[in-house]
Amino acid sequence: MKAVRFHSYGGPEVLKIEEVEMPEPGPGQVRIAVKAAGINPIDWKLRAGYMHEMMPLALPAGSGFDASGVIDAIGEGVSGVSVGDAVFGKGHHTMAEYAILQEWAAKPDGLSHEEAAGFAVAIETAARIIDQVGVKPGQALLVSGAAGGVGSAVIQLAKAAGIRTIGTASEPKHAYLRSLGALPTTYGPGLSERVAALAPEGVHAALDIAGSGVIPELVAITGDPSRVLSIADLSAPQYGAKTSFEPTESTKALADAAALFTAGSFTLPVEKAFPLDRIADAHELSAQGRVTGRLIVTIG
Ligand SMILES: NC(=O)c1ccc[n+]([C@@H]2O[C@H](COP(=O)([O-])OP(=O)(O)OC[C@H]3O[C@@H](n4cnc5c(N)ncnc54)[C@H](OP(=O)(O)O)[C@@H]3O)[C@@H](O)[C@H]2O)c1
């Protein structure tokens, strides 16, 4: 089968499409014929070697952590699914014609494989950090970096849980944030004042998704560093804020989001879909940091 691989850390040009052995599903896993796979910032961070201390890779390495497709092999101990079922979920080396998923949910009929391909990492991350930052129904949550994959999922999962969000993005994306259910505002100087005007009663907690050096300001806005959590800024603990880097089991979160999609309350729009042979362009666009919603690669 064809798979994206790289033999050394480097720029997008190290990405190759190669013939490799089909992966076999282990206990608790399924193999899918991949229809589409999601691009996440971690894909180009790993490829460039930025993460080699935190997550060293055995080279040559594959790429990709989420996908949507059709089950074609089932590992030991898996129940509730059959060969031929359409699913989306989390796995490793999903940028390939076939991939192993560790966690998955049934793909709703009305959801395309292209959109579903971008669901799993964003949903797992969003559900985890809403939980870990400790915000409850009826409270307000500030989301710094709200228009990308994770931020879009946070806004909608928070709304479904009765949590109000204020999200930061550049002005042209404010209508998009509003459509997902957030009160939008711009990032940059004066954030505290803008948030105070939008939420005079204050915000209970804040998430730093963009990793843009705003932790001290988020601590000042919430008034308590333990109610600030970052997924992208390693300096956060210096200010007493939390970080979250370890994925948690996401089967329920994926199924819940699929049900929200069916109810018309969840979507992760695909900004751009690339064919597999343009994987390098997909990495480059993701690395520019301006994606609205998700980028995906169509494969099958
Ligand atoms: N720790 C974890 O478990 C974990 C999990 C998933 C992702 N992450 C990390 O979280 C980050 C976000 O991931 P993602 O998938 O959401 O990325 P993404 O989809 O590429 O996010 C792009 C968005 O970020 C916004 N943005 C850029 N600079 C900003 C700023 N200064 N303030 C506010 N928004 C800004 C952009 O909006 P504008 O164009 O309007 O600026 C754009 O819409 C990445 O660094 C990723 O590696 C960590």
Ligand 1: residue of 290, 292, 295, 296 to mutate (most ligand atoms within 8 A of CB) is 290
Question: What domains can be seen in the chain, in order of their start residue?
Answer: 2-119+268-298 (3.90.180.10), 123-243 (3.40.50.720)
Residue among 162, 136, 166 nearest 151 (CA): 166
Q: What is the pLDDT of residues 273-292, one digit of tens each?
A: 999 999 999 999 999 999 99
Q: What is the pLDDT of residues 188-241, one digit of tens each?
A: 999 999 999 999 999 999 999 999 999 999 999 999 999 999 999 999 999 999
Give 107's DSSP letter: P
- Protein residues with CB under 6 Å of any ligand 1 atom: 40-42, 121, 125, 144-145, 147-151, 168-170, 173, 187, 209-212, 231-232, 244-245, 286, 289-292
Whether the full predicted model's pTM is greater than 0.95, yes or no, is yes
Given this model, what pLDDT does residue 258 score?
Answer: 98
Which ligand 1 atom minimizes the distance to the CA of 292? Answer: 43
Write the residue with the smallest CA distance to atom 46 of ligand 1: 41
Ligand 1: residue of 40, 45, 144, 270 to mutate (most ligand atoms within 8 A of CB) is 40
User: How sure is the predictor about 53, in pLDDT bands with cuts at 50, 70 and 90?
Assistant: very high
Distance, in Å, from the CA atom of 72 to the CA atom of 1, rounded to the nearest integer, reads 14
